[in-house]
Chains A and B, each alone.
Chain A
Amino acid sequence: MFEQGRISSVNSVSLSINGKSFPSLRMRSAPRFRVSCAAKPETVDKVCQIVKKQLALPADTTVTGESKFAALGADSLDTVEIVMGLEEEFGISVEEESAQTISTVQDAADLIEKLIETKSA
């Protein structure tokens, strides 16, 4: 499986230079300073739960907003199943183009909240 056409994955690679990543550039690691469109922690938690369940991860596996689906062992079928699980849980519909841009749990949570907001608008 290759990463499915996500240009955003190029952006995440450019944050690390010579194999070292620069924490100050990784704004996602400091939730307090987030811009306002980021997802609520409860949403992130729910996504983590769904991901853990789909991938049958051992209970002690650390899954956080920063966790990448690919690094957790999700193949493309898992990813689509996760998206479907999220659609059912949150009552939303995720277009395939948007689903392709999701590489971390946080991405999924952010997208979910955006869709919920659009739906109720």
Chain B
Amino acid sequence: MFSFVSKRLSLMMMTKVCCFQRNFSSALPPLVPVKLPSKMETHFWYVLPDEVKSESLLSQYSELLSPREKKNLYHMQGDQFKKSALLARVLVRTTIARYQTNCQVNPRSLKFKKTIYGKPEVDWENGDKWCPPPLHFNISHTSSLVACGVTVNVPIGIDVEEKQRRLKNKILAFAKRYFSPDEVKLLTAISDPEIQRQEFIKLWTLKEAYVKAVGRGFSAAPFNTFTIRARVVKMGGFHHFDTQHSEASEIVVESSDDPENLTRNWQFALLDLAGSHYAAICIEKENSAGGEAGVPMRLTVWKTIPFVEDERVSGTGAVVPISGLIKQL
């Protein structure tokens, strides 16, 4: 997969033609461009590794990676894991490249860097002829699903987890060690072990998504210093929510350390994705909407095989809202 001769050749090809979408890779068709999400929208893209079967496609995907990404991939153990790690890099590169509607961007030429806290972001310094959009992204993957969330202007964090995920440790022992006292109380009150396990996984994804959205690493927000819970919201009558219940539930985060400021600005969505995963999305609310209660997260979801097929699945059975105020587009 990593033959140096062909790598050098394709590198030569690409540096000449980086601006022409048709030619950036010998056989891959162009990416379908997409408009940036508006300020109040969230875009969510995912790939199901099991649907990507072609070895030649995977080989072409690996040519999109930077040398460092290829090296990291090379050192990974386990084929399933390696494949989903490859698809995660491909998904983030191709997704961001889609949004460059004024000038075609080669997904292979994107550079990434990390903030001092370790959160990945696009490094627009190189090849910055184009005006970079204020685009935020976050990735999460399991061996069976790879996801990338995109927003404009506001930070985003996402986490996906297999619904069937089992802990090696006992759930309550784990929760007592890592979750907040209120969350432990909530989990302890669930007598059915299977429901307790599901609620645990949902809570984990929400907490992860929050910490990733805040983007300052776990030490800035240790798991046991904040509580995430669902709160019933009275329907205002004007907003149309996707929920099977007559009352909508909003997900809120409360911090024991930090007063209202940090925690009031975050909006959450929890979804049942593709029937197999829980997906949690956390975005920062725009300042103007900070105090307003009951504004749903406008969400569009695509299932994709980059360069092959894109399918908008928001509003279908592939995306089932569990909680949070969500409006699917």
Query: A: which residues have CB within 8 A of B?
Result: 1-7, 9-10, 13, 16, 18-19, 53-54, 57, 61-62, 68, 71-73, 75-77, 80-81, 84-85, 87, 96-97, 99-100
Contact = CB atoms under 8 A, between A and B. Distances in A.
Given A77-B161, A77-B204, A80-B178, A100 B218 contact: yes
Contacts of B36: none
B78 A5 contact: no
What 10 A-B pairs have minimum CB-CB distances, sorted nearest first?
A: A5-B217, A73-B81, A5-B118, A97-B219, A5-B117, A96-B222, A71-B76, A71-B75, A19-B67, A3-B118
Max chain B Cβ within 10 angstroms of own Cβ: one of A9, A18, A84, A85: A84
A10 B161 CA distance: 27
Given A2-B119, A81-B167, A76 B77 contact: no
Interface in B71-127: 71-72, 75-78, 81, 114, 116-120
Nearest to B165: A77
Nearest to A74: B81
B142 interface: yes
B174 A81 contact: yes
Contacts of A71: 72, 75-77
B164 to A, nearest CB: 13
Given A13-B68, A96-B223, A2 B212 contact: yes
Contacts of B168: 53-54, 81, 85
Contact of B71 (A7, A9, A19, A73): A19
Contacts of A19: 67-68, 71
Interface of B: 67-68, 71-72, 75-78, 81, 114, 116-120, 138-143, 159, 161, 165, 167-169, 173-174, 177-178, 204, 208, 212, 216-220, 222-223
Contacts, number: 87
B77 A9 contact: no
A85 B169 contact: yes
Contacts of A77: 161, 165, 167, 204
Nearest to B205: A77
B118 to A, nearest CB: 4
Contacts of B67: 18-19
Nearest to B76: A71
